[in-house]
Amino acid sequence: MNEIQQLTVNAVRVLSSEAIDKANSGHPGLPLGCATIGYTLFTQLKHNPKNSRFFDRDRFILSAGHGSMLLYSLLHIFGYKVGMEDIKNFRQAGSVTPGHPEYGVTDGVEVSTGPLGQGIANAVGFAVAESMLAERFNKPDCKIIDHYTYALCGDGCMQEGIEAEAASIAGTWKLGKLIVIYDKNNITIEGSTDIAFTEDVGARHEAQGWQVIRVNDGEDMDGLIAAIAEAKKETEKPSLIIVRTRIGHGSAKEGSEECHGSPLGAELTEKMKKDLGYDYPPFTVPQEVYDDVAKMQVRFSSYEEKWNKLKRSYARKYPQDNKLLDAFISNDFTKALKDESLWENAPKPEATRNSSGAVLNRMAALVPNLVGGAADLAPSTKTYMKGLGDYYACSRGGRNVHFGIREHAMSAICNGMYLHGGLRPYCSTFFVFSDYMKNGMRMSAIMNIPVIYVLTHDSIGVGEDGPTHEPVEQLAGLRAMPNLNVFRPADRRETVAAYISALSGKTPTCIVCSRQNLPQLDGSGKDALKGGYVVYGDEKPQLILMASGSEVGLAIDAAKKLQEEGKRVRVVSMPCMELFDAQSRRYKSKVLPSSVTKRIAIEAGVDMPWYKYVGLKGKVIGINTFGESGKADVLMAKYGFTVDNVLTKAKELLK
Amino acid sequence: MNEIQQLTVNAVRVLSSEAIDKANSGHPGLPLGCATIGYTLFTQLKHNPKNSRFFDRDRFILSAGHGSMLLYSLLHIFGYKVGMEDIKNFRQAGSVTPGHPEYGVTDGVEVSTGPLGQGIANAVGFAVAESMLAERFNKPDCKIIDHYTYALCGDGCMQEGIEAEAASIAGTWKLGKLIVIYDKNNITIEGSTDIAFTEDVGARHEAQGWQVIRVNDGEDMDGLIAAIAEAKKETEKPSLIIVRTRIGHGSAKEGSEECHGSPLGAELTEKMKKDLGYDYPPFTVPQEVYDDVAKMQVRFSSYEEKWNKLKRSYARKYPQDNKLLDAFISNDFTKALKDESLWENAPKPEATRNSSGAVLNRMAALVPNLVGGAADLAPSTKTYMKGLGDYYACSRGGRNVHFGIREHAMSAICNGMYLHGGLRPYCSTFFVFSDYMKNGMRMSAIMNIPVIYVLTHDSIGVGEDGPTHEPVEQLAGLRAMPNLNVFRPADRRETVAAYISALSGKTPTCIVCSRQNLPQLDGSGKDALKGGYVVYGDEKPQLILMASGSEVGLAIDAAKKLQEEGKRVRVVSMPCMELFDAQSRRYKSKVLPSSVTKRIAIEAGVDMPWYKYVGLKGKVIGINTFGESGKADVLMAKYGFTVDNVLTKAKELLK
């Protein structure tokens, strides 16, 4: 490392520590320990700090998101739109420098990270997207998509199961352009990793199909550069670069867990500055550091210029491909969804998982960048797009992805695939196993990115597989999540609405489907896009039945019986509460007039989500226990999902 | 394999397939492929089919729970309380032979399995419990606790992240008495494992500190017996026995994913019987098979007799230890919790995570079999029991467990530790990361076992760490889960109630704690055990404010202001909705009189859980978006958790 390089690395350390001290909150351990790694990487990246959205840039993901100040210091010094005032506002409400990196908030941040392990799985998604787009668009004379994906992670990420899942599938997929740097400092919050983590991480990754490279000293810039070069040379395997570092490097707390998540404090930061010979006022980066980076900017700008030139040449030679690539990148195929013929119901009763399969296959033709698959359940969740090939290491153009039995990584990989740009990913598993990927789904929701979750085998309708496979509380749990639309369609038309909403909207969407056949409803239609609507019944009801999914047909049957007995009944289908809640007050009170206080909600799940619609005077026919193993129709009857039971409850209410 | 052994193995195959055909539902692939493995294991186990609760038995966990018919066939043939009628009722409502094995339903089933990977982590928990109890109670002349834990898993389990977590910590803990048999048939639902799973599972486990043994043919009984012996010889490492099998062995669908989860059907089962030379009517096990097992039963009974003798000798020589061991096994220390001195509040405002730390340490003294720890967060979640040692491979008597950053495995390990018997486990992480272990928690709830989850860093009160670390929807999500008590205490006394409830009850309990300081309430007390109670205010209120945790103090402050303005206000503290809902109708209407329809709930989380208490005419002051990074008090004010905002809302309502 030469003098200016060392000075820059020290600037990263000092700036990070000063910001954390000022906030009196944050994690200095990683920024200090990885300052040289981070700096080296930022000099090596194909990126353009003056345009963080340059499409063919290398992606960098800070999987160890608690080390956010490392990233912010680097973004600042390298000329991204992170000013010194922003650094001073680290971790303050409304700042662009929040506690953990947040996508959409900070220039140069590719993805929100913090929950450990997620970032590595995101990185796998970025690398998959790169390989898919490269296969689809590159020409022998024009590699229009050609970049690396880097991630930096710590001992924490390496212990999480999601990392093992992601590493395993990355090895299977031979993602040669994925490079993960492992900041191995052997310290976590409870102390030495020896107390809970003695595995040989390198050997484990080798077993999972990775190239493993070791750098014995995190301050060895030449060693790091050589390691990156070696990683790039290996095109058939993802690379793990294990770098031995010292947490809190340069500070008095170097090597101790005490500096993981607590500020050093003014005194120790001062001491560190002295020890480093860094004699500048607080929040000062020496001008020579800025100047040195400005020199690099020439190279950074040339990356994009070169690519822009390549893109113009591509446009000339391959106008059709170029147009499609642009469409992929702008990622808006909503016009194609206007096709009226989509809105037909199935000719006979159909499980909504089959409706979903049919609609997905229609959508695959309309939305050419729709890619995805299941966690080894495509034959059951009906999420295979016929005739569109499989994404394998040997056939990266296939659109069907086989994630393996790795739900958590699957969701995070989809997040990465979307964030890369150019693709619209979906993924699928049994609804109950959304539990396994809950935090990945949460990350979709926090980032507000429209990943699609197809979740089949809904409710006790699953039947014989029993309580471990019967979701009862998952509807409530996912509806409780902000920014997430949870669709539970009642028939094929409502399934169309779910897909159109999912493919048009900006938020992630769950499409929750039944295993069992459901009747096709006369009254269903485009109003399903409003989340809730009158699907059957009276203009001036004395009783409102509301339901979603498999229980809408039951509600209509019960309503007909009640009408025969002279009652005025309306049935509201509520496929998506979030969309209904977002309608105008006028629309909502038209569907659910406040004058009608006699209301019954029917749903084969816990009752919690419905009280806001039925109130204290209404009733919910739900399931507040776990289910059991048995024939689906037997269970449905046993748990009260019968016309008779609805009639009984209705009559109690109307008394 | 001799003739009678082969006949028994075939009986397992045929019985399994016949039961699955009759149910027209189930998974024949594993029972057929693993019949020899299962039979061999059942001959080798130290167990007593005549008393499935024999305490020092070897434990066997079918991690691949979809292969339930293998287990039921073996339980039936080996003389557990699973009759032929039960086999015929496979997968029917109310039977003891549900679709996946269920704890508490079927004699001989140690744990509910089905969600993949869970069972291996459970097995780690069983092995940990064995090692802890052995360390605590064994004497040089008397190994009163001394058994093995076996698990059988398939390719599915091996792909799940929870398995990698469990394997990693099992290696660190050097669990030499854990033996996992891996049914490697290279087939999953989407086809060959090659498409999504090419890692070298053996090498991966070696990297994680395991001994790996290979058996090339799943029909090689001698090879299996030798492998088990080799596994037992290795006392410093857990053992993985990789057995090459063929899914659906013996059937026409052998080797194909088609037999994973679909019945063979009568025709193919008939063909299989012919091919196997198994000429018996449906649901018939040849008498010579029963007779052969009956001969083994002499040995099985002797295991328990020998242990009973050992126990008597132990009781004579070590009466104190024996008494304690019996108390551990009966696992009821509720008497000790009557100590009145527990119910003191803290002398000054205190974060409930600190309250929890204080109470946990009191409880540790009263409940000697309380063991547990955190996912590398004990210093933050305050879950270290001082002076009680650490559980390490070299010190198995320690009561503090370091799970590493492996939330999902942690919860499943705790399930296993409890189910082993003799211990009361707790585990801990940040509340938001309950997402990572949701399915493990669900398994606690399905099995209704009182594992304790200490979940700190509640709500936007987390502050600077930002939205990825701020739980807003987790309260709703966990409250939606059946059989789970979710406590959100408001001060130290309510934290005492949470622990007493958790340690007395039969269900799992979450104790959700704040990071920030909370006032100690004058009105809190034992009524918190009722889940909801009047903590402050008027006998005849015109307005009810209800809240939990950090918002109760705010509600009281607002109530005082309103009282100053002449309003009659009551504050209801609701630390645990599940317990409140379970109270008598009379009690509930005393706390929340139906005549008072003006109600406001205040909770720094999504509003969904509160509508059933406030109704359509009430209001909820909640957070229906994700939080953000900033100082906790700034965020609390920004999101409306101020006296002023409560007053505004109250006045709107009282207008």
pLDDT tens column, B461-486: 999 999 999 999 999 999 999 999 99
> What token pair was written down for B80?
């557990």
Going by C-beta distance under 8 Å and a sequence separation of 6 or more, which residues neighbour residue A117? A63, A153, A156, A157, A159, A160, A161, A162, A163, A166, A412
Residues of A in contact with B26 (CB under 8 A): 464
Read off the pLDDT of residues B209-257 as tens digits, 9 standing for 90 and up: 999 999 999 999 999 999 999 999 999 999 999 999 999 999 999 999 9
Distance CA A111, CA A59 (A): 10
Beta-carbon separation of A612 and B607 below 8 A: yes
Q: How far is CA A284 from CA A23, A88, A279, B511, in A?
A: 17, 11, 10, 45
Per-residue pLDDT at B340 exceeds 90: yes
Q: What is the CATH number of domain B3-300?
A: 3.40.50.970
Q: What is the CATH number of domain A340-518?
A: 3.40.50.970
Contact A423, A392 (CB under 8 A): no
Beta-carbon separation of B203 and A200 below 8 A: no
Mean pLDDT score, A27-54: 98
DSSP-assigned beta bridge partners for residue B392: B395
Read off the pLDDT of residues B156-187 as tens digits, 9 standing for 90 and up: 999 999 999 999 999 999 999 999 999 999 99
Quick one: closest CA in B to A262, which residue? B380
Contact B649, B618 (CB under 8 A): no
Task: Give the pLDDT score at A505.
Answer: 85
Going by C-beta distance under 8 Å and a sequence separation of 6 or more, which residues neighbour residue A181? A37, A41, A150, A151, A152, A153, A241, A243
> Where exactly are the structural domains of chain B?
3-300, 340-518, 528-654
Distance CA B298, CA A89 (A): 75
Distance CA B282, CA B300 (A): 29
Q: What is the DSSP string of A199-226?
A: S-HHHHHHHTT-EEEEES-TT-HHHHHH
Which spans in A237-351 are helix H? Answer: 266-276, 287-317, 319-330
Beta-carbon separation of B159 and A405 below 8 A: yes
Distance CA B252, CA B391 (A): 50
Element (H, E) at B373: strand B370-374
For all residues of chain B together, what is the average pLDDT? Answer: 97
Residues of B in contact with A102 (CB under 8 A): 466-467, 629
Beta-carbon separation of A199 and B189 below 8 A: no
CA dihedral B154, B156, B161, B167 (to 10 degrees): 0
Four-way CATH pick for B528-654: 1.10.3720.10, 3.40.50.2000, 3.40.50.920, 3.30.1490.20:
3.40.50.920
Beta-carbon separation of A480 and B473 below 8 A: yes
Vertex B178 angle, CA B176 and B180, to 5°: 130
Contact B26, B99 (CB under 8 A): yes
Q: Which residue has the tokens 């062995």?
A: B249
Could you tell me the pTM of the whole model?
0.98
Q: Which of B26, B200, B480 sits opposite A473 (nearest CB)?
A: B480
Distance CA A455, CA A381 (A): 7
Length of chain B: 655
> What token pair was written down for B101?
């094995």
- Taking chain A, what is the end-to-end CA distance rounded to the nearest angstrom? 85
Q: How far is CA B575 from CA B498, B527, B549, B581, in A?
A: 8, 10, 7, 12
Mean pLDDT score, B344-365: 97
Reduced DSSP (H G I as helix, E B as strand, rest coil) percent helix, strand, coil of chain B, to 5: 50, 15, 40
Read off the pLDDT of residues A230-284 as tens digits, 9 standing for 90 and up: 999 999 999 999 999 999 999 999 999 999 999 999 999 999 999 999 999 999 9
Q: Which of A102, A160, A407, A603 is catalytic?
A: A407
Q: Where are the beta strands (DSSP E) in A96-253?
A: 149-154, 178-184, 187-188, 191-192, 211-215, 239-244
Task: Give the pLDDT score at B280.
Answer: 98
Reduced DSSP (H G I as helix, E B as strand, rest coil) percent helix, strand, coil of chain A, to 5: 50, 15, 40
**Residue A211: what are its φ and ψ, rounded to 5°?**
-85, 135
Quick one: closest CA in A to B608, which residue? A609
Per-residue pLDDT at A66 exceeds 90: yes
Tell me how many residue pairs between chain A and chain B have CB atoms under 8 A apart: 340
Q: Which of B95, B409, B626 sits opposite A482 (nearest CB)?
A: B626
Contact A168, A375 (CB under 8 A): no
Q: Of A614, A609, A612, A588, whose CA–CA distance to A480 is shortest?
A: A609
Per-residue pLDDT at B505 exceeds 90: no
Distance CA A329, CA A109 (A): 18
Neighbours of B652 (CB within 10 A): 10
Element (H, E) at B152: strand B149-154
Task: Reduce the secondary structure of A385-445 to three states and give it as a string.
Answer: CCCCCEEECCECCCCEEECCCCHHHHHHHHHHHHHHCCCEEEEEEEHHHHHHHHHHHHHHH
User: Which amino acid, A5?
Assistant: Q
A616: pLDDT confidence band, cut at 50, 70 and 90?
A: confident
Q: How far is CA A638 from CA A553, A600, A627, B89, B93, in A?
A: 18, 19, 10, 17, 9
Task: Give the pLDDT score at B616.
Answer: 87
Beta-carbon separation of A482 and B445 below 8 A: no
- Taking chain B, what is the end-to-end CA distance rounded to the nearest angstrom? 85
CA R_g for chain A? 27
Tell me whether the CATH fold assigned to B3-300 matches the one assigned to B340-518: yes
Residues of A in contact with B607 (CB under 8 A): 612
- Known catalytic membership, residue A407: yes
**Residue A215: what are its φ and ψ, rounded to 5°?**
-120, 120
Q: Which of A115, A380, A628 sits opposite B98 (nearest CB)?
A: A628
Per-residue pLDDT at B427 exceeds 90: yes
Distance CA A250, CA A376 (A): 48
Distance CA A460, CA A629 (A): 9
Three-class DSSP category at A21:
helix
Q: Which of A200, A468, A607 sits opposite B100 (nearest CB)?
A: A468
Contact A406, B218 (CB under 8 A): no
Please tell me what DSSP assigns to residue B254: T
Q: Which residue has the tokens 């979701």?
A: A471
Q: How far is CA A581 from CA A531, A574, B574, in A?
A: 8, 10, 27
Q: Of B243, B145, B225, B226, whose CA–CA distance to B185 is shortest?
A: B243
For all residues of chain A together, what is the average pLDDT? Answer: 97
